[in-house]
Amino acid sequence: MRIYFLGICGTAMGNAALLARAAGHEVSGSDQGVYPPMSTVLAAAGIVLHEGYDAARLERLAPELVVIGNAMSRGNPEVEWLLDTRALPFTSLPALLADHVLKGRRNIVVAGTHGKTTTTALAAFLLRENGRDPGYLIGGVPQDPPTGSHLGAASDPFVIEGDEYDSAFFDKRSKFIHYAPHIAVLNNLEFDHADIFRDLQDVQRTFLHLARIVPRSGWIVLNGDDDNLRALGAIGWTRVVRVGTGAGNDLRIADHRDSPDGASFSLAWQGRPWATVAWSQPGIFNARNAAMAACAAGLALFGREARRAEEAAPDRLKLDALERFRGVRRRQELLVDRPELKVVEDFGHHPTALAETLRSFRARFPGHQIHAAFEPRSNTSRTKVMQAGFMRALALADEVWLGAVSRAEKLNEGERFDAEAVGQHLETQGVHAHHAPTNAALLDQLLAAAKAPAAGPRLVVFFTNGSFDGIIGRFVAAVK
């Protein structure tokens, strides 16, 4: 089949295009910015890329199916031509995956407000390290496994990141509803995506929809410490395993420690020791990601015949390889490592993620003054919806640098993230705060501060779910 991806250079779209190519389809696509690294990977796989959107070109190419990414909206010339003419069939990315990749597979769908990418990578990595050939689709750039997508063996599980965001402008269901989970991993649940969901209850509703399509022969791996997940109520239609630090969880995480040399924790399944893990990933949140991934992978391999959690044996899965797991790019990624200066990039864009990461850095980088640079970029973080939460989270740093609000002109002043108000609040908490009208101006401030004498070592961490207008790379190049 000739498949055309509209918005092909996004991480999810690009990796899905690679899966389609690996399955033997002829693949091409367009994007407003055909840029590396995704463009390089796609071209190397024999995928033809087109710069910009052109309805006449799409008509001339005449693919058998057009996949419309969820970043596409009305007004796009190729979208408008498709709707005007109905000349070509089109679908969303999740629907394509459901019909051409996930059908017939035993799918592990990893959902949650935080940690989806890392947990998906961990589950795929552990299955591979235990001698299996899983398929996987990861919504980021993992270091382990070595690629973001792989078809794998049809007889082995397929691990996919299950995003609760909508599927396309014409399909407002959460993406993960399409993914036919055999095992659903519910890692955590908080309010996010205020452009899609009305409130916390609305988010809980879509997670419950996901849980309801897990078959009775499947499993739900649930964060047993999360009040918002417990509020989903009794789940009587399938088997449930609870993971967490508290008593009553089937898989318990204990003895977590962060240090400059790494982190460690232990796991116990049904009260019996499973493993003690020493690895490089910081924070209790990453220990939880590992526990959820290990449980899901173990159940996929060793839990098929069990009627309930007590009869399963996911602890047969070997976890020794976790000490070699290198994580995912842009997740607490250390870019500069010198005694006097550390620079980290993190994908954080939710108050809880920022707070947990900053707490872990206190133990990981003791004695360092923490400078947190934050770009309000996501559709929620650039509004005032979570502004109070960001105030509390950023107060955990020693000094804060607030970037320009992304696409600020598209928001009314009354609903826009107010950097000045956030900065004033932080000052009352003893945290020195800076903000600038542009990210380029913020970079100048950061570089001036980096050159100034310091009483001790410094850690500069950049929080953004986008590019921060390129200032991270420029800062790293300058300080190196």
| C-alpha span between 248 and 340 (Å, rounded) | 44
Domains annotated for the chain, with CATH where assigned, are 2-93 (3.40.50.720), 104-324 (3.40.1190.10), 333-479 (3.90.190.20)
Task: Kindly state the DSSP code that residue 74 receives in the 8-state scheme.
Answer: T
Across 456-480, average pLDDT:
93
Segment 276-330, tens digit of pLDDT: 999 999 999 999 999 999 999 999 999 888 888 888 899 999 999 999 999 888 8
Across 413-434, average pLDDT:
94
Structure-token match 């108000």, residue found: 421
Distances (CA, A) of 151 to 93, 304, 440, 451: 16, 22, 41, 48
Predicted confidence band at 185 (pLDDT cuts at 50, 70, 90)?
Answer: very high
Strand partners, 3: 27, 65
- At 65, the amino acid letter reads L
Task: Kindly state the DSSP code that residue 257 receives in the 8-state scheme.
Answer: E
Across 83-105, average pLDDT:
96
| C-alpha span between 223 and 334 (Å, rounded) | 28
- The answer to whether residue 242 scores a pLDDT higher than 80 is yes
Distances (CA, A) of 425 to 356, 387, 432: 20, 11, 10
Tokens of 122: 């961990």
Cβ contacts of 309 within 8 Å, gap of 6 or more:
239, 240, 241, 250, 270
pLDDT at 285: 94
Task: Answer whether 0.75 is exceeded by the pTM.
Answer: yes
Helix (H, G, I), strand (E, B) or coil at 135: strand
Distances (CA, A) of 124 to 128, 277, 301, 308: 6, 18, 12, 24
- The answer to whether residue 466 scores a pLDDT higher than 90 is no
Predicted confidence band at 480 (pLDDT cuts at 50, 70, 90)?
Answer: confident
- The answer to whether residue 108 scores a pLDDT higher than 70 is yes
- At 466, the amino acid letter reads G
| C-alpha span between 13 and 68 (Å, rounded) | 9
Segment 341-383, tens digit of pLDDT: 999 999 999 999 999 999 999 999 999 999 999 999 998 999 9
Report the sign of the C-alpha dihedral through residues 279, 281, 284, 285, in that order: negative
Cβ contacts of 219 within 8 Å, gap of 6 or more:
182, 183, 184, 238, 239, 240, 241, 296, 299, 303
- The answer to whether residue 194 scores a pLDDT higher than 90 is no
| C-alpha span between 96 and 92 (Å, rounded) | 6
Distances (CA, A) of 333 to 95, 110, 266, 281, 347: 32, 22, 24, 10, 9
pLDDT at 35: 67
CB-count exposure of residue 441 (10 Å: 0-12, 13-18, 19+): middle
The H or E element containing residue 440 is helix 439-451
Report the sign of the C-alpha dihedral through residues 348, 350, 353, 356, in that order: positive
Q: Which parts of 11-116 are beta strand (E)?
A: 26-31, 48-51, 65-68, 90-92, 107-111
| C-alpha span between 328 and 138 (Å, rounded) | 10
